[in-house]
Amino acid sequence: MQIRRISGALGAEILGVELSKDFPEQEIRKAFLEHQVIFFREQALSPAQFMAFARRMGKPIEYPFVPGIEGFPEVIEVKKLEHERSNFGGIWHSDTSYLEEPPMGSMLLARELPPYGGDTLFANQYLAYEELSEGMRRVLDGLAAVNSSSKADVSRTREDRVKERGGRSQELIAEHPVVRTHPETGRKALYVNVAHTARFKGMTEEESVPLLKFLFEHQVRPEFTCRFQWRVGSLAFWDNRCAQHNPVNDYHGHRRVMHRITLAGDKPR
């Protein structure tokens, strides 16, 4: 097994591993925690093999809004069709931070890809926190944020998918620390995101806007990010507790189909 970093901020490709066979589980887990998002190439996994890998990394759970594929309720299809203009989750975000226990991580496996475009960006939220001034860190360390599944920006990318796939449409709300401590590494990470964070606890949305706007722009500065170019059979596994992601919507008129598995997490602290 070889590990090759893809940027200075985060992200690494894992080479020489076939996930359908035996693989060095502890080494992969260590790389995941160190690099926040890891990538594999040429993984021709069936849904059952994909699930088997996921179960060795964590506990797969069902996604709250989109039903799973036939026979595998924890595997959802993330799809943009030729006639669609919006892509699923097409905004910077940390997955389902509106849950009381947001996921530990997510896995995405490329099934069908457009002839160009459709890359995914990732952003290091350890760096986002560490690069703030000491004074700003002191302010944020004592704050909590209210996260909602119905925030306007994300509903524009999600609403049609919920309707066409028979998903649920109720609003989910959860309060989490603005700065969370990673339960495995002990490092602090900024934990707000433009897709789901509506306001600070104890403040109105209007009062929260100026500081949230600064944080949303700060946490995805180019030097905190990496960009992954997909190929069929590519698999990405990211740490939802300290990384955000953004699927780039630059392939209108073409089809993109991915399979995703979400892994259970714990309550942010």
At 84, phi and psi to the nearest 5? -85, 150
Catalytic residue, candidates 161, 180, 256, 260: 260
DSSP one-letter code for 67: P
Catalytic residue, candidates 158, 180, 245, 256: 245
Q: Report pLDDT for 163.
A: 52
Q: What is the mean pLDDT of the chain?
A: 93
Q: At what angle do helices 25-35 and 47-57 cross, to 10 degrees?
A: 70
- Residue 95 bears catalytic tag: yes
Between 267 and 167, name the one with better pLDDT. 267
Catalytic residue, candidates 95, 161, 180, 241: 95
Rounded Cα–Cα distance for residues 49 and 76 (Å) = 15
What residue ranges do the domains of the chain occupy?
2-263
Q: Report pLDDT for 171.
A: 87
Model pTM above 0.85:
yes
Q: Report pLDDT for 160.
A: 46
Rounded Cα–Cα distance for residues 113 and 233 (Å) = 10
Kindly report, residue by residue over 190-234, the tens digit of the pLDDT.
Answer: 999 999 999 999 999 999 999 999 999 999 999 999 999 999 999
Q: Report pLDDT for 169.
A: 59
Between 49 and 159, name the one with better pLDDT. 49
Kindly report, residue by residue over 141-156, the tens digit of the pLDDT.
Answer: 999 999 999 874 444 4
Query: Could you give the residue ranges of the DSSP H alpha helices within the chain?
Result: 25-35, 47-57, 125-130, 134-141, 152-165, 205-218
- Residue 260 bears catalytic tag: yes
Q: Report pLDDT for 156.
A: 46
Strands 235-239 and 256-263, sheet pairing: unpaired
Task: Give the CATH number of domain 2-263.
Answer: 3.60.130.10
Per DSSP, the residues of 94-123 read -TTTTSSS--SEEEEEEEE--SS---EEEE
Q: Report pLDDT for 75.
A: 98
| Residue position matching structure tokens 């669609």 | 84
As beta bridge partners, residue 112 has: 257
Q: Is the pLDDT of residue 177 over 80?
A: yes
